[in-house]
Amino acid sequence: MKRLIRLVFAGVLGLSGTVYASVPVLQGATLRPTFGGVLLEARFLPKGNVALNGVWADSGRANLMRCAPSCKIVDEIPLNTAVTLSQSSTYRVVLGGQFKPRQQVKLLLRFNKGKMLTIDVPVTSK
């Protein structure tokens, strides 16, 4: 699995920040350390009716969660309007593993209709 992810990052998608048509604009993306991993904090500005349905890094696939009133794993996060992901938002993206402050983590985000985005995201200190 890790080999497949590396191949996707290195060969198919190319350089960091590669954008495929009609994916949302992503602002202020960071990874905040949590118990056993990191939480993606970012603001999505969608272009139309879009949903986030997968996030991957070298360490594996992230959990997409809806936290209202308790957290449950979901198949997708709707991005019909501007959405902010954070530890206090309804929707969250959590990636397990060991990460160090100031480390750059390459993420692959998959949206509906097969659209993808790769980004380099820094890990913040607590």
Task: Output the pLDDT for position 113.
Answer: 83
Question: Is 0.95 surpassed by the pTM of this model?
Answer: no
Q: Does domain 2-122 have CATH number 2.60.40.1890?
A: yes
Task: Output the pLDDT for position 49.
Answer: 87
Is the pLDDT at 16 greater than 80? The verdict is no
pLDDT tens digit string along 71-102? 999 999 999 899 999 999 999 999 999 999 99
What is the distance between the alpha carbons of residues 100 and 21, in angstroms, rounded to a whole number?
A: 32
What is the distance between the alpha carbons of residues 43 and 81, in angstroms, rounded to a whole number?
A: 11
List the domain boundaries for the chain. 2-122
pLDDT tens digit string along 18-76? 444 478 899 999 999 998 899 999 999 988 889 999 999 998 999 999 998 899 999 99
Q: Left if phi > 0, otherwise alpha if psi is -120 to 50, otherwise beta: which for 114?
A: left
